[in-house]
Amino acid sequence: MTRKGDGRPALKLRDMDEKNMHNLFLKNMAGLIEETKNPSPCLNPNSKRGGMATHAGVALELGIFRPSGQGIKMMSPQMEAILIWCQCRTREYDNVKVENFTTSWADGLAFCALIHHFFPQAFDYSKLTPQNRKSNYHLAFQTGERFAGIPDFLTAEDMEGMVSEKRIDPKMIFSYIQEVYRMCNEL
C-alpha cells in the first residue's frame, strides 16, 4: 500500500514502532489541547493542530475509546491526553482496560502493566492476578521508584485503603500517572 500521489509506502498506526507512534501521539494531543483551549478555525495547512477528526481517527486505529455514560465526568484535555497515553501503553496486556482514573486501577494490574511496558525485565507480568491487588501495588510502585525514580507519594497502603473503602481518588491516581509519564516518557 502506498500513499496517494507520492509513491511512498503508507504506514498504519498499528504497525508503527514505539518512537514514531509516540511522536504522532504527542503531535495530535498537542493539537487536541490547543483545539480545546482555542477553538477558532485553523486556516494554516502546515499547523500542528489536529482537528477532532484526526484525534478520533488515531484513537479508532489504535482501538482506543472513551466510554460514554451519565456517570462519566468530563476530563480536562490534559487528563484525556494522559488517559490515551496510558491506553496506548497498556492495550496489549491481559486483564487491563484503562477507561478512567478510578476503577481501572483498583486491582493494581494497570499500574503493573504501565510500569512493565517501560521495564519488561523487572518482573513477569503473566504471573500477576487481580486477586493480589496489594502485591500488585507494591510491585508497580517499588519498580517505578527503583528503575525510574518515580516518587512514592502514592503507596500500596493508600491504594488498598481507597479501594476497600470504595473512595478511589482520581486526582491521586492521575498525579501518580503524570509522574510515570514525566519520568518514563523519554525512555
**pTM of the full predicted structure?**
0.67
Picking from 40, 63, 86, the residue at the C-terminal end of a domain is 63
- Is position 70 within any domain? no
What single-letter amino acid sits at 153?
F
- In percent, the amount of the chain with pLDDT more than 90 equals 50
Total domains, the chain: 2
Picking from 63, 83, 100, the residue at the C-terminal end of a domain is 63
Picking from 23, 38, 63, the residue at the C-terminal end of a domain is 63
174 and 92 housed in the same domain: yes
20 and 85 housed in the same domain: no
Q: Domain range holding 140?
A: 75-187
82 and 54 housed in the same domain: no
What single-letter amino acid sits at 25?
F
87 and 167 housed in the same domain: yes
Spell 42-53 as b/e; 16+ CB within 10 A means b. Answer: eeeeeeebbeee
> Is residue 4 predicted with pLDDT exceeding 80?
no
- 83: cell is 488517559
> Is residue 152 predicted with pLDDT exceeding 80?
yes
CATH number (domain holding residue 86)? 1.10.418.10
The string of pLDDT tens digits covering residues 157-185 is 999 999 999 999 999 999 999 999 999 87
pLDDT given for residue 53 in this prediction: 44
- Is position 1 within any domain? no
- 64: cell is 482506543
Give the whole-angstrom CA distance, residue 85 versus residue 104: 14
Give the whole-angstrom CA distance, residue 93 versus residue 116: 10
Give the whole-angstrom CA distance, residue 96 versus residue 103: 11
- Per the model's pLDDT, the better-predicted residue between 32 and 134 turns out to be 134
Give the whole-angstrom CA distance, residue 44 versus residue 63: 30
